[in-house]
Amino acid sequence: MLGRAVAVKVLAGGADRDRIRDEARSAAALSHPNLAQVFDYGESDDTPYVVMELIEGETLERRLAGGAVSPADAFRLCAEVASGLAAAHDAGLVHRDVKPANIMVTVSGAKLVDFGIAAPAGAGEERVLGTPAYVAPERIMGGAVTPASDVYALGVVLYKLLAGVLPWPGESTTGIVRDHVHTPPSPLPDQPGVPRPVAALCMSCLAKDPAARPPARFVGDVLARAAARAVLGEPAARTPRWRITAAAAAVGVMAGAWLYSGASPVREPSGGPPYVQPEPAEPPPTTAPVGTPPTGPVPAGATAHETAGPPGSSPPPSPGGLPTTTSPAPVTPAPAPVTFTADGGTATARCADGLAELTGWAAAKGYKVETVRPGPAATATVTFRHGNDLVDVAVTCTGGTPRADVTARKR
């Protein structure tokens, strides 16, 4: 009617019209440059159809058939898909079929297409829909549809773009499904042009526990920065080494500021939920009483305590107790990170140049990570959610020492 070129998706007979119409309506409400726009829904001779944006380009699957893409292109394409997914997730919609065949590569960037099996976040699944190689383990096990499932699929796409293969050795559909649930993904091979933060991000997206995966918006931010650095030819920042240890209490991966800093994870053979913390330069930290109380009130039901290493010792006096002006000033070691524990989870933070920076966080049992602003900033925050209950942990720096305000609230 408007004289424009569109794509018309005709659905097979016997499809659930009500579900398809509802999903088309949800997808039509989305507007984002990295999502294919849905214009209309209709039925012709009892056959439902969806009218969509016509995209000029080729699928990422076809692009891969012609040869591998560069790491910079992989970062950029997945960053754009993650940005589109974040918009869909903000609208309460989960795509459920993120894969190279549903990613269009155009002159203006990547576009995620085909919301044909999209579903509202939190919905149950009578049967698992999607492509087996990209289906998250919780969906296979009958869990609810969540945005984390899309992040898992995007992690598989990113891994395949960088390594050229899937993260598991299984070849048959049965083997792939079994690997999703039981087999830890193979570590991403070291490759030129793939900085350690990106490799760590990719592996965190593939965590078996959906609460351990970073949100799509965070994935997009990290990959966009990596793509920009690759284009400009900037080397990755030097950072301290990190280690990953399995922790029974940790249900969330520390996919925070260490991803920005270039930290290097070391996988445990157990394949359990990863918990990330810096390699201590001094003896392991010991539990100390809570220092200066938070500047704001801690409401009932929300508590916080901190664990920090021993304070740095003063340099020895000069011979005879006389001051000297010829010796260089002693180097003061950076303060050890401090871990704050609240009802919703834990947050580990440090202070640098007067700014607070979260170096890790993990949700408590029954909670999940809602949002993270890791800093460095005047205030670094992480929010944990359980149903409609939110717990905010806001970290600031006072005299070079992290201090936390914990607030419990309703969504």
Instruction: Work out the end-to-end distance of the chain between its first and last CA atoms, rounded to an integer number of angstroms.
Output: 44
Structure tokens at 52: 């969509």
Neighbours of 282 (CB within 10 A): 10
- Dihedral class, residue 167 (left if φ above 0, else alpha if ψ from -120 to 50, else beta): alpha
Structure tokens at 68: 């591998």
If pLDDT is split at 50, 70 and 90, which confidence band does 15 have?
A: low
For the chain, the 3-state helix, strand and coil shares in percent, each to the nearest 5, are 25, 25, 45
Please determine, for residue 341, whether its predicted confidence score (pLDDT) is greater than 70: yes
Write out pLDDT tens, residues 59-104: 999 999 888 889 999 999 999 999 999 999 998 889 888 999 999 9
pLDDT value at residue 37:
87
The alpha helices in 233-327, defined as continuous H runs, are: 257-261
Identify any residues that bridge with 377 across adjacent strands, giving them in sequence order. 356
Cβ pair 42, 1 in contact under 8 A: no
DSSP assigned state of 295: S
Q: Please report where in the chains the tokens 């220092």 appear, as a residue.
A: 291
pLDDT value at residue 251:
29
Q: What is the CATH superfamily name and number for domain 58-236? A: Transferase(Phosphotransferase) domain 1 (1.10.510.10)
C-alpha distances out from residue 297 to 305, 374, 404, Å:
14, 22, 10
**Section 378-399 average pLDDT:** 89
* Residues in contact with 230: Cβ distance below 8 Å, sequence separation at least 6, in sequence order: 71, 72, 75, 193
pLDDT value at residue 216:
94
**Section 358-363 average pLDDT:** 83
Q: For residue 22, indicate whether it is catalytic.
A: no
d(CA 373, CA 99): 28
Q: Please report where in the chains the tokens 């913390």 appear, as a residue.
A: 277
Burial 116-134 (b: 16+ CB within 10 A, else e): bebbebeeebeeeebbebb
**Section 163-178 average pLDDT:** 84
Neighbours of 331 (CB within 10 A): 7
β-pairing, 6-10 vs 380-386, is unpaired
Burial class (CB in 10 A: 0-12, 13-18, 19+), 230: buried
pLDDT value at residue 126:
63
Write out pLDDT tens, residues 106-128: 988 899 988 767 777 877 666 77
Q: Please report where in the chains the tokens 């940005």 appear, as a residue.
A: 83
pLDDT value at residue 234:
55
Cβ pair 304, 342 in contact under 8 A: yes
153 compared with 277, residue with greater pLDDT = 153
Distance of CA 390 to the CA centre of its chain: 19
Query: What's the chain's average pLDDT?
Result: 75
**Section 347-368 average pLDDT:** 85
Q: Which of 90, 97, 392, 405 is catalytic?
A: 97
CA geometry: angle at 272 spanning 269 and 277, to 5°? 90
pLDDT value at residue 66:
86
* Residues in contact with 223: Cβ distance below 8 Å, sequence separation at least 6, in sequence order: 75, 76, 78, 79, 82, 158, 198, 201
- Dihedral class, residue 92 (left if φ above 0, else alpha if ψ from -120 to 50, else beta): left
Please determine, for residue 194, whether its predicted confidence score (pLDDT) is greater than 80: yes
d(CA 309, CA 339): 10
Cβ pair 256, 360 in contact under 8 A: yes
- Domain residue ranges of the chain, discontinuous segments joined by +: 58-236, 287-307+334-410
| pTM (2 d.p.) | 0.58
